[in-house]
Amino acid sequence: MKKLVLYVSRTGTTEKIAKELSTKFDADLIKILPEKEYGSYFNALMRVIIEKVVNEQAASGTPYRDFSGYDVVFVGFPIWAGDMPTFLQDFLQNSTFGGTKIIPFATSMISGIETAEKTLKRVCPGSTIIEPYVCNKKTMNQYPNWIMRLNSFLKYL
């Protein structure tokens, strides 16, 4: 079974989980970058808010690809303004996934993953979204259980 971890990380928090998943599940690893960097925390915060308010989608700086050869694709990202980063949406929407199973994981201070999960379904039509997980202050202790569920699930694919 061929696996891949795609991820976005500005501070390194999501990257840490992405690297753990890549090692644990013997998956390829690709970091998705924006076409234009977000800069400092304050600049990034302002830009994300503006993108959300004016419904502007930032472009991916990572070339689009065909991932339909993968059985499972983990997609990791921080929650920005309640959703996944718009440049990640651009990347996913313009890449090919076919019927790939997508396992989303997100990092957040307090937000849930529900809105991002809906966005993921919209930008990756034809894929199946399974076992979403958000790591925040409330759910940090659930990480080991999520990994156990993934181990069980991936055995039967």
Question: The CATH number of the domain where 27 resides is what?
Answer: 3.40.50.360
**Cα–Cα distance measured from residue 141 to residue 135, given in angstroms and rounded to the nearest whole number:** 9
**Cα–Cα distance measured from residue 114 to residue 31, given in angstroms and rounded to the nearest whole number:** 23
The number of distinct structural domains making up the chain is 1
| pLDDT tens readout for residues 90-141 | 999 999 998 899 999 999 988 889 999 999 999 999 999 999 999 987 887 8
| pLDDT tens readout for residues 121-135 | 999 999 999 999 999
Q: List Cβ neighbours of 82 (8 Å cut-off, separation of 6 or more).
A: 52, 111, 115
Torsion of CA 69, 74, 80, 81, to 10 degrees: 90
Tell me the pTM.
0.94
Q: Which domain holds residue 26?
A: 3-155
Residue 157 reports pLDDT greater than 80: no
Q: Which amino acid does the sequence have at 108?
A: S
